[in-house]
A and B are shown apart, each in its own frame.
Chain A
Amino acid sequence: MAQKAIREADGKRMMARLLKEYSGGKFSVEDKYITVGPDTDMAKLPNQYKWLTKEKLVVKPDQLIKRRGKNNLILVGANFEQAKKWIKEKSKGPITIYGKFDAKGKPTDKGTFGQLTHFIIEPMVPHKDSDECYVAIMSTISGDTILFYHQGGVNVGDIDAKASRLEIPVGTFPSVAEIEKKLMGKVPADRKKRVAGFVEALFKFYADLNFAYLEINPIVVTKDSVMPLDLAAKLDSTADFESGRKWGPIEFPSPFGRNPSKEEAYIEDLDSKTGSSLKLTVLNPEGRVWTMVAGGGASVIFADTITDLGFMSEMANYGEYSGDPNEEFTYKYAKTILDLMTRKKNPKGKFLLIGGGIANFTDVAKTFKGIIRALEEYQKKLVENKIKIYVRRGGPNFQEGLKNMRKVGESLGVPIEVYGPETHMTKIVSMALKGGK
């Protein structure tokens, strides 16, 4: 429920479908964008898209990746056979993609390791470098900002410093004349009006479809057309009920390199089955500090405190459960974490922090029931792995919940320390880690 990035091909297809309407018929983009995913049978594509074997093609990975050009991930001017071969080769196994480069084009960061799975194929648009411009529209707190630069492409440079800006107060739409005056300064005179008209239509399209971000770099302006070459966009996913029909069948993909593990995917699946919230990210499966924290805000603070106390490298997971999940869901959630943390023993032992703030209305005793069930099931493994448990929680029925936790610690023979609202929320982090170092 937030601003979420979409695939380039989905954004372009939306333009192809709707830009004509928003520009009063003046601009149109032909729908020649194909998404190739892991299940696509490429052999069948030429039958479906006749142009595929007749035109020169451009192929790029379509997974919210920045700097594809510098990472050598754009194939230009290929025929279909070459495109097929290239995709096969690029998706053979995981690769590293870099985010920062020096002037010579050498990567300067550690990069992100991940698997390429989705590609976009589109026709090559022959053009001169001087035909390229940069345009972006982004949401701001008071409205939107249009950024425009009369040059574009991979080497456009520091666009924040160079681009002309036009602030659009929310609820208003800029006129062609205004765009021409404020943004088209360095555009050749014979193109000014046309490009301004395109930007005007693009803004309407952006606003009406509830985009939060739309960057086209470059946009190619020729004598008879205006074509988006590279596109990156985010939609306001909460606007699904208003604009979903216009978006068409899209998905919000995970960023490249975030390939959920089996357990993460399992929790994601559980999360989708309940009105409550269940989240899990495994940061370091061999870490010694595991958390099971109630509440989105509190879970961040627990992770913060582990980081701030200097134990980032030992932090095994981030996650939260909130919104009053029932006993079954908390049981499954707890079991997943206990399973992960008892796979590999560490001679120094491990910590499980069952934390949380003071709940508004979640019944603490009830949610703890599910956790207690999981703890009982893992009794032997908890002892074998030398796991020490710290609990801190408040809210409705917390007294009973905490009492039950203490009892289960005793009966299982697992060391457990239990605290309520009288103890500062994150004290159990320092108790565990500072005592445990």
Chain B
Amino acid sequence: MTKAKATKKTAAKKAAPKKSQYELFDRHTQSFIYNNQVNATQRMLDFDYASGRESPSVAAIINPTGGDSFSKFFFGNKEILIPSYKSLEKAAKLHPNVDVMINFASFRSAAPSTEDALDIPQLKTVVIIAEGVPERRMKLITAKAKKLGKNLIGPATVGGIKAGCFKIGNTGGTIDNIVDSKLHRPGSVGFVSKSGGLSNEAYNTIARNTDGLYEGIAIGGDMYPGSSLLDHLLRYEKIPDVKMLVCLGEVGGSGEYDIVEAMRKKQITKPLVMWVTGTCSKAFKTEVQFGHAGAKAGSEAETADAKNAALKKAGAIVPNSYDDYDQKIRQTYEKLVKNGTIKPKPEPPAPKVPMDYAKAVKEGLIRKPANFISTISDDRGEELEYGGIPISKVFKDDMGIGGVLSILWFKRQFPAYASKFIEMTIMVTADHGPAVSGAHNAIVTARAGKDLISSIVSGMLTIGPRFGGAIDGAAQMFSDAYDRGLTPQEFVNEMKKKGVNIQGIGHRVKSIHNPDMRVTIISQYAKKNFKKTPLLDFALEVEKITTSKRDNLILNVDGCIGICFADMLRNEMQKKEADEYIQMGALNGLFILGRTIGMMGHYLDQKRLKQGLYRHPWDDILYLKE
């Protein structure tokens, strides 16, 4: 990626040649995009690249609701950074060569933001995209712009395009269409219309029947547009490279009569092919409002028929219907070629603009291996799915936490007894008082003023071989011994010989005479509901041996959960797969899952009780000098 800020680079470059007062844009025009319009900006840059511009036409994005930052865009196949500013004033100061603002503000804020832009001396042209700007506001803005000698395009428009130079926002559609309509290089036709949608169609017509577009502007469909059809025709009249004018008017308003008047006064002398749409309004019984706010005939003079007749009388080339508009354009062009006004230039090769990755994928043109695989859930469709099961079915079948866990962890729906067993293990591991290391750490962290996630993580990080790890350890140790065919006695002897404590055996206070209720609940449930419990049976035999030595060397709750869980998995899947899950740490996960509930409880408890910072008392620490 080119880290250089392309815009700054060009600002420092040689000053662009001064453009004539009738030109709004040239190949060096720099603009601001008001509002964070990522797609429109990229489309402008694609056009710039296709047109062979040296630098992108967007200098900066004004993002009034964000902060100052940079965004990545493509210029050809290189990536560049375009700055965003919160303040238009600041942007203007930093980019003194920018003289166009394309205002994508909503109809609510289009007026104030346009006024702000007009107040900045360097900004000469403001394009207003929004539809629905109040008419009175717009009239005020137009008056202000006129007073300051500035140009407006819009509102309610897609904008316009100067072929090979500058493209406003989304004008011209996709890059394919821009190249098809030859908008990447200038021709001889100056075009202006009200409708933005139809301007795209017109560029195609012009490309197919002439040497192409020089510039096209859509003034927008409002009753009181910031610039009129005539304003742009008068500009085109003064631009030597524009050899013929094409215009598309509309029923309603009187802008077309200003053109008639200008033709009469010889202010327009270039050939003008023009059609006013809306001749169908006579087919309607009541007054009809077409799509545009201004498209409504209030009087006979405002009808399309009357306007077409007046234009024809004034010398415009008016077709009989839109159907031969293209023919009139072609004939006019051919006449100009014949009389030498236009000298057709050889067609430059069509530029290639790199295709967007997403588009290429959509069209099946490219492929690439995925970097990630995921098999447990899918959120892309209509409904979230867990292992292919729609979430609605999860609830309909009342699968519970155990059911969901079995799908997401073990990729299958366990029978009800197993789901219930999972939930039981979560319930019995949920908490074990405030004194154990996990809860203690969570409490101390909470009291240090930290947030929930920090406190929980602090507690969770103590889970390991000495705390909570016995579930995992017991399951592995006992199943290993059982699978090797050791007798309980051989197993105990082996451990003793190695000097290793048997995981899951022994309790601080509970003993054979004072049994742990949790162990009783879990083991009885397993005995009653599991198909078979060979590991639990083996462990109980081991317990008989160990308790004969000391009465507190019982099968403890961690051991009982781990061993029963291993039994359950072996009942529901192949032994190999079950062992794999245990090796991957699934049982440890069970403890983490359950105990998180308790740690969150401790966190909330401490916060609720407004406990202050904990400081361990000196007298509880043995300070030693070695």
Contacts and interface: CB of A to CB of B under 8 A. Distances in A.
A61 to B, nearest CB: 16
Interface in A193-219: 207, 210, 212
B283 interface: yes
Interface string A28-42: 000000000000000
B173 A238 contact: no
Contacts of A322: 197, 291
Interface residues of A, number: 62
Given A171-B140, A360-B158, A394-B177, A300 B135 contact: no
Given A1-B132, A170-B143, A300 B290 contact: yes
Contacts of A242: 134
Nearest to B177: A358
Given A3-B135, A360-B170, A308 B284 contact: no
B323 A170 contact: no
A278 to B, nearest CB: 11
B224 interface: yes
B107 A315 contact: no
| Interface class of chain B by DSSP | loop
Contact of B201 (A171, A296, A299, A357): A357
A210 B291 contact: no
Contact of A430 (B133, B197, B198, B323): B323
A426 B288 contact: no
Given A1-B131, A170-B139, A424-B205, A295 B198 contact: yes
Contacts of B286: 112, 255-258
A141 B277 contact: no
B35 interface: no
A383 B280 CA distance: 29
B20 interface: no
B210 interface: no
B108 interface: yes
A139 interface: yes
A427 B204 CA distance: 14
Contacts of B284: 281, 283, 318
A229 to B, nearest CB: 24
Interface stretch (B2-10, B292-300, B457-465): B292-300
A2 B280 CA distance: 20
Contacts of A83: none
Contact of B323 (A169, A210, A422, A426): A426
Given A170-B140, A239-B134, A430-B323, A304 B278 contact: yes
B292 A360 contact: no
Interface string B107-148: 110000000000000000000000111111101100100000
Contacts of B223: 2-3, 139
A258 B135 contact: no
Interface in B355-393: none
- The interface centre, meaning the residue of A279, A300, A318, A421 with most chain B CB atoms within 10 A of its CB, is A300
B323 A424 contact: yes
B282 A312 contact: yes
Nearest to A394: B204
B200 interface: yes
A186 B320 CA distance: 50
A320 interface: yes
B256 to A, nearest CB: 13
Nearest to B108: A241
Interface in A122-159: 139, 141-143
B224 A305 contact: no
B323 A309 contact: yes
Given A304-B322, A430-B323, A358 B143 contact: no
A312 B283 contact: yes
A318 B283 contact: yes
A139 B323 CA distance: 35
A335 B177 CA distance: 30
B283 A303 contact: yes
A15 interface: no
B487 interface: no
Given A296-B197, A303-B283, A304-B304, A421 B204 contact: yes
B174 interface: yes
B39 to A, nearest CB: 8
Contact of A301 (B200, B224, B322): B322
A320 B322 contact: no
B280 A239 contact: no
Interface string B563-579: 00000000000000000
Interface string A397-426: 000000000000000000000000110111
Interface string B212-250: 000000000101100000000000000000000000001
A421 B180 contact: yes
B323 A429 contact: yes
A389 B251 CA distance: 29
Contact of A308 (B137, B288, B322): B322
A415 B224 CA distance: 45
Contact of B289 (A2, A307, A315, A320): A2
Interface in A202-253: 207, 210, 212, 236, 238-239, 241-242
- The interface centre, meaning the residue of A170, A297, A427 with most chain B CB atoms within 10 A of its CB, is A297
Contacts of A277: 291
A361 B171 CA distance: 10
B136 A207 contact: yes
14 contacts: A2-B296, A169-B143, A170-B139, A298-B197, A300-B250, A301-B277, A301-B322, A303-B283, A304-B280, A309-B323, A358-B201, A395-B177, A425-B201, A426-B322
Given A238-B134, A255-B286, A298-B201, 7 more contacts: A2-B223, A2-B296, A139-B135, A238-B133, A296-B290, A303-B280, A394-B201
